Structure 1
Amino acid sequence: MAETVTLTLDEAHDLCLRVLLDHGLGGKQAEAVAAVIVAGQRDECHSHGLYRLIGCAHVLGTGRVNKDAKPRVIDWAPSIVKVDADFGFSSYAYNEGIGLALEKARCQGLAAFVINRCYHFSALWPEIEPLAEQGFAALALTPSHSWVAPAGGTRPLFGTNPIAFAWPRADHHPFVFDFATSATARGEIELHRRAGKTIAPGLALDAAGRPTVDPAEALRGAMLTFGGHKGSAMSTMVELLAGPLINDMISMESKAFDDGLGAIPCHGELILIFDPSVFLGDALGKNLACAETLFDAIIGQDARLPSQRRYDARLRSLRAGVTIPTPLYEELLALMKAPSENARASGRLG
């Protein structure tokens, strides 16, 4: 049997949708989740691609996610939109409320988009890159479960607490970065465990507080922040802005709410949306050109802009499809009530 399986993007989408629907997720919510997972796999963000279906299926099996969630969009203030996700997946709530948030950004120049009571499993770039493609700048923050020790500590306290930013570019893909304030993503450690590989030094501690390169020990212990005290301070900022400020759980509370089920985190998310055209008026063109001068200066030193590897991967996937390990593909098929006849007919099952 081949070591890998290649799927078209349509086949990857159908696989996602089939698994989610088979686990009882409502149609619109399943479509929203599938779109985010396929985007991650398309851009070769493997820890946020088809692998994430395993976690989604697990949390659906726990009964915690509201499979028939009905997000409620709240016009909270002139520049604030809130969406009560009704304990559904964040991507569905995002889709329901982002239109009003963009209207407010166009009017005020700045809007805060808050998602409460949501299960968040994905990277943040799929939420903000489309905003930059429409001419907005955006900053997104979210906590998770308490998996990460503060600088100088040895016990889990913070979430991986990612921060993502996007800036519009007229003739290029948006400038986007998306990174955890932990030294690596938790999904990357899990992928190393599944592959039987060690992780790099400096990423995690074991349960006794000792440095470890064993991914299984790291998952039982505590991850570390990037940049020592600097990453620790930024992680604290994420906890505060995407927790108490928006009336939602910090990572400690999310972990306690999980109550040992091992589900994906339940908490809130904050997205700040900026409309440069309102900030700048007639000076818009001059300042967008200034930003391009900065990007050109970075590239001129043979440095790489963030997300460029993602964009390159996207082109490959659009041409040739996406490739995943055969064991993962078989595991995903096993999540279905019955593996699809199309998969068997294609010979992908060997």
Structure 2
Amino acid sequence: MADKVRLSLDEVRSLAEVVLSRYGLSERHVEAVSDTIVAGERDECASHGIYRLLVCAHTIKAGKVALDAEPVVHDIAPALVKVDAQGGYAQLAFKLGKPVLAEKARRCGIAAMGLNNCVHFAALWPEVEELARDGLVAFAFTPSHAWVAPAGGKKPIFGTNPIAFGWPRPGEHPYVFDFATSAVARGEIELHRREGKPIPLGWGIDADGNPTTDAAAALEGAMLTFGGHKGSALSTMIELIAGPLIGDMTSAESIAYDGGAKASPHGGELIIAIDPARFLGSLAAEHLARAEALFEGIAGQGARLPSQRRYEARARTATEGVYVPRKLLEDIQALLD
């Protein structure tokens, strides 16, 4: 593995903290953002790991994120909370709003939180997994930059627009999925470009609308939704419920705000939490047991549950560390020169 370097998770965290601090992020943001980057490497999701330090550094240098933003929590209704991130990264806004969202979900049975005026660069699974570990069913949605063409179209209008879901399981890791409504996360295409590898057909089109296996051409052209019109419809839904519904930007508005800086997306996130105990009362345990029968029916026939691979990786990397491409590590270390 001459082309890779082994790092412990502590070394990943230290590297993230040093880079983010050097680029001026406040201590609370450094901690929250580093948590997400470490989670990406820990779970062997390289496109959401330390590669994102390059993205953060570029966004900071472009002046597109508030380095010392102090999010403001607005308790707007019995089952609604909004958090104004004040132009900072979304992680700290979520951290401050999560306890309020959880309390409202337990009191009302269901609650929603809008994160506004955030800078996004990461996956959504950390948010829904945290809520599911607290016994709540959770959904999260966010637009991004307009990089993705609608089904039948040639010009970008959607973001990668992920959906994440978390379900609590007694004695087990939560059931979690998190996927873009684009055919793949944009970071995956960028990693292919960096390594000079072709992308599969169906991931993107070039600037003329032609199918392409060239990662750079897809990044300059448009990404595609998964599942044709079905992915396109879901992406539209996310634009609406995590954009206008919570008073924030669509992906087209986010990329216009970016003004060619090619920084991370700026906009909102909608998170919904449901308390099964409040919803089901004394029957909660009975119905949650039925859910376990469903999971057993899936896994029992050899099918993989979403998030299972990440949990297996998590157990492994805790002791074995992670392997990072040498060139990527050199590029990150160059940020400190």
TM-score range, shorter chain: over 0.9
Structure 2 distance, partners of 1:249, 1:221, is 22
Structure 1 distance, partners of 2:329, 2:2, is 11
Partner of 1:10: 10
Partner of 2:240: 240
Query: Pairwise mapping of residues 177-216 of structure 1 onto structure 2 (< 5 A)?
Result: 177-216=177-216
Q: How many residues align?
A: 337
Q: Does 1:305 align with 2:315?
A: no
Structure 2 distance, partners of 1:125, 1:32, is 14
Structure 2 distance, partners of 1:295, 1:215, is 37
**Cα deviation code 1:34-83 (max 9, x no counterpart):** 00010011000100001000000110111121001010000011101100
Structure 2 distance, partners of 1:3, 1:193, is 17
Q: Which structure 2 segments of 5+ residues have no match?
A: none
Query: Pairwise mapping of residues 34-53 of structure 1 onto structure 2 (< 5 A)?
Result: 34-53=34-53
Q: Report the alpha carbon displacement of residue 202 of structure 1 after superposing the two structures with TM.
A: 1.1
Partner of 2:147: 147
Q: Does 1:71 align with 2:71?
A: yes
Q: Report the alpha carbon displacement of residue 325 of structure 1 after superposing the two structures with TM.
A: 0.7
Q: Which stretches of structure 1, 4 residues or more, deviate above 3 A after TM superposition?
A: none
Structure 2 distance, partners of 1:2, 1:223, is 33
Structure 2 distance, partners of 1:42, 1:144, is 24
Partner of 2:316: 316
Structure 1 distance, partners of 2:240, 2:133, is 29
Q: Report the alpha carbon displacement of residue 2 of structure 1 after superposing the two structures with TM.
A: 3.0
Local SS of the residue matching 1:211: coil
**Cα deviation code 1:172-197 (max 9, x no counterpart):** 11100000000111000000001110
Partner of 2:134: 134
Structure 1 distance, partners of 2:315, 2:336, is 30
Structure 2 distance, partners of 1:111, 1:140, is 12
Partner of 1:344: none
Calculate the TM-score normalised by the size of structure 1. Answer: 0.95
Q: Does 1:253 align with 2:253?
A: yes
**Cα deviation code 1:228-252 (max 9, x no counterpart):** 0000000000000000000000000
Measured on the aligned residues, the alpha-carbon RMSD in Å equals: 0.9
Partner of 1:90: 90
Calculate the TM-score normalised by the size of structure 2. Answer: 0.99
Structure 1 distance, partners of 2:40, 2:64, is 24
Query: Pairwise mapping of residues 322-333 of structure 1 onto structure 2 (< 5 A)?
Result: 322-333=322-333
Structure 1 distance, partners of 2:63, 2:227, is 38
Amino acid across the alignment from 2:265 = P
Q: Which structure 1 segments of 5+ residues have no match?
A: 338-350
Local SS of the residue matching 2:2: coil
Local SS of the residue matching 1:212: coil
Give % identity: 58
Amino acid across the alignment from 2:91 = S
